[in-house]
Amino acid sequence: MAANDATILRGGNGGHFLNLGEGTVTGKFGEIVCLTATEIDAITNPLLTNISDVEGVTLPAGTRIGGLTTSILLASGEASAYV
């Protein structure tokens, strides 16, 4: 893991608000937090086994996904992606 990735996993670089109109968002996000009930259409996180299991599931507000998410597409709801 690169030194910059370690900073990302600590959430030390701000964040990005995710909503439906954006399409697929790419980057290096250390944590995803659902702000409302949120359905994820597609997600890539190479550090988590079976991460695709959350695709198509409505996650309640407050749900957190850690690791290193590199792309995410929402089907509904709003979330924050922390860098």
- The pLDDT averaged over each successive group of 10 residues in the chain (83 residues) is 52 79 92 95 92 94 94 96 89
pLDDT on residue 10 = 54
pLDDT on residue 14 = 78
Length of the chain: 83
pLDDT on residue 11 = 53
Number of domains in the chain: 1
Reference 43, options 60, 17, 58, 25; nearest CA is: 25
Find the domain containing 50 and state its range. Answer: 3-82
